[in-house]
Amino acid sequence: MQSQINFVDSQTLMPKPAIDAGRILVSSKDLTWDGIHIEKGENKEFNPEDVTVTQHYFAMNAGQSFEWEWKDGKTFKTHRYDPGDIWVNPAGVPFSHRINTYNQFVVLTLDPAKVVETLPEQPLIDRSCFRRQHKCQDKHLQALIQALLIEAETGGPNGKLYADALSTALIAHFVNHYSKEVVLDFPEGMAIERQRLGQVIDYVEAYLTEDLSLNDLALVSGFSKFHFSRLFKQAFGLTPHRYLMKRRVERAAMVLKKRANQESLNIARVAHQFRFADQSHFTRTFKQVKGVTPRQFLQKSGK
């Protein structure tokens, strides 16, 4: 069985299909799990160089102890991984490994969008800085990974709802124990700017379905429109308008998912609810954010 983990070059983000993850013994690829994947396997060695994974990546030692070398800057450091020890690598963080001995592993990947959808009350969670951690001895994380592995190994007898419950618990634990506070890219001494932008975010969340304008948001911030736009882009990597569109799509996706099995659901109605110009505009923006159209998202959610 082939691994479903897609390793990409850390600089170009182009696929690196030559990386051999080893022999896969168990995989959740045929199950209808949403935003999470798990597999168990074995290999004789594993030496990826300057790669990354676009999902949050958890690797647990499922066999005997072995030495794991990992690149720290220009040099390699070595950890001895005992059974159950976990390596946590946030989405997009580059890594290089040297494992030159037989090892057994369980790998779990978690889509960042799944984190956002599961915790919609934390609108900046996708901007959080998650910590890469080596040799984690985390019994809660270990237990959740084991439970998901058993479910995959037995063919998913408890259904999608059970996997979603485990995924939700894993996400909550990941956010609570492996994330840092959101870092706004401001020099020291700009506490007022941080506070005012935080107020803008709260305002956006409270009035997502209202007809918000750049002038409205600038007034909340207390800055001129030009100064506000520049600070916002510096802090969040998005213009205010793009951030607003992204949050509207994410909230609309929650509405669609909750009503996936309702025949009366009208995508155009949801588009209107979240202030998109028309269904075409909603579909285009939704696909930019989610990678699928609203109808494709509904079909997937309704399975």
The stretch 83-105 carries a mean pLDDT of 93
Q: Per the domain annotation, does 1 fall within a domain?
A: no
CA 95-104-68 angle, 5° bins:
40
Between the ranges 58-67, 185-194, 221-230, where is the mean pLDDT highest? 58-67
- Rounded CA-CA distance 90/96 in Å is 14
Between the ranges 3-17, 24-38, 110-124, where is the mean pLDDT highest? 24-38
pLDDT at position 187, please?
Answer: 53
Burial-class residue 17 by CB neighbours within 10 Å (0-12, 13-18, 19+): exposed
- Rounded CA-CA distance 208/273 in Å is 9
Of 144, 178, 212, the residue at which a domain comes to its end is 178
**Which pair of tokens denotes residue 5?**
């983990």
- Verify that 18 and 166 share a domain, yes or no: yes
- Verify that 169 and 104 share a domain, yes or no: yes
For the domain that residue 99 is a member of, what is the CATH number? 2.60.120.810
- Verify that 151 and 226 share a domain, yes or no: no
Q: Per the domain annotation, does 3 fall within a domain?
A: no
pLDDT at position 179, please?
Answer: 78
Q: Per the domain annotation, does 281 fall within a domain?
A: yes
Q: Which domain does 83 fall in, by range?
A: 8-178
Looking at the predicted structure, is the pLDDT value of residue 163 above 60? yes
For the domain that residue 223 is a member of, what is the CATH number? 1.10.10.60
* CB neighbourhood size of 157 (10 A): 8
- How many C-alpha atoms does 194 have within 13 Å on its Cβ side? 11
- Verify that 287 and 242 share a domain, yes or no: yes
Nearest residue to 130 (alpha-carbon basis) of 187, 53, 182: 182
- Verify that 21 and 158 share a domain, yes or no: yes
Of 126, 147, 178, the residue at which a domain comes to its end is 178
Helices (H), the chain: 112-118, 139-153, 159-178, 191-206, 214-221, 225-236, 240-258, 267-273, 279-290, 294-301
Q: Which of 9-18, 116-125, 239-248 has the lowest mean pLDDT?
A: 116-125
pLDDT at position 186, please?
Answer: 55
Q: pLDDT digits over 114-152, tens only?
A: 888 887 656 555 555 688 889 999 999 999 999 999 999
Q: Per the domain annotation, does 185 fall within a domain?
A: no
- Rounded CA-CA distance 113/107 in Å is 19
The stretch 167-179 carries a mean pLDDT of 89
Looking at the predicted structure, is the pLDDT value of residue 23 above 90? yes
pLDDT at position 116, please?
Answer: 80
Looking at the predicted structure, is the pLDDT value of residue 25 above 80? yes
pLDDT at position 258, please?
Answer: 74
- Rounded CA-CA distance 96/46 in Å is 10
* CB neighbourhood size of 152 (10 A): 23
Average pLDDT of the residues of the chain:
87
| Longest alpha-carbon distance in the chain | 61
Q: How many helices (H) and strands (E) does the chain have?
A: 10, 11
**Which pair of tokens denotes residue 31?**
């199950």
- Verify that 131 and 28 share a domain, yes or no: yes
How many domains is the chain built from?
2
- Verify that 152 and 267 share a domain, yes or no: no
- List Cβ<8 Å contacts ≥24 apart for 258-266: 260/298, 260/301, 260/302, 261/302, 265/298
- Verify that 172 and 200 share a domain, yes or no: no
Q: Per the domain annotation, does 183 fall within a domain?
A: no
pLDDT at position 157, please?
Answer: 95
Nearest residue to 235 (alpha-carbon basis) of 131, 127, 129: 127
Q: Per the domain annotation, does 186 fall within a domain?
A: no
The more confidently predicted of residues 301 and 35 is 35
